[in-house]
Amino acid sequence: MTNSPTRPVALITGASRGIGRAIALRLAAAHDLVLVARDGEHLASVARDCEASGARVQTLALDVRDGQATVAALTGLHVDVLVNNAGVAVMKPFLEMTAEEWNRQVDVNVNALYHVTQALLPGMVQRGRGHVCIIGSTAGRNTFVGGTCYTGTKHFVMGFAESLMLEVRDAGVGVSVITPGSVATELFPEGTNTTWMLEPANIADAVAFAVTAPPHMLVHRLEVRPLSPKRPRSSF
């Protein structure tokens, strides 16, 4: 996919499961895809599902925490839409958090944004079009006990996204940040009641809305919430 394709190409990080998988399936009808995650086996499964919708799919088994490997794998790819979705969360009091847990969240939620975006954004700017979409969180504008690192990384996402938007909009590149509330994924511990939460497909719909807006229109910040934690989805 190094040459100009007939359909726009979307690259999605963290694409092997959860929200990333849902985004890939949602975009597959109109985009060719580059799917990135550490788990090559799960990526292959997602790729088959996306190909059934008509997408050409390239998979990259890649740890986006590794800056050198990321630059080597992504530099030169033709990508029209970048979805920075990869993320991790460790919810525990600060005094109980290990250095490894802290650094892992910062590496995935913050530093990987640099590695991936730095590799692909120059091509968008050169072509005069493109879209960078980042999956943030409502934790990027609030706080809670046990969220010292996670909410810090999501606050970073909000500042990064808005600053980047102002830098590249005159070059024809849009920057969006999708901020979900609670989503029923593996992020939550086993036994958590997720029946009231958003589904990954809801976030995929929000991404599709943002990245397929008319060229003169930018959906920069889109917050998506469950209607009520007191009402399961099945009650609607």
Choosing from 150, 158, 184, 226, the catalytic residue is 150
Q: Beta strands 9-13 and 221-224: pairing type? A: unpaired
Residue 171's CB is within 10 A of a number of other CB atoms, namely: 14
- Contact yes or no for 28/53 (Cβ under 8 A): yes
Query: Could you give the CA distance from residue 70 to residue 166 in angstroms, rounded to a whole number?
Result: 25
Q: Is 114 noted as a catalytic residue in this protein? A: no
Strand partners, 180: 224
CA-wise closest residue to 44 among 32, 35, 33? 35
Query: Could you give the CA distance from residue 20 to residue 8 in angstroms, rounded to a whole number?
Result: 18
Q: Which residues are catalytic?
A: 150
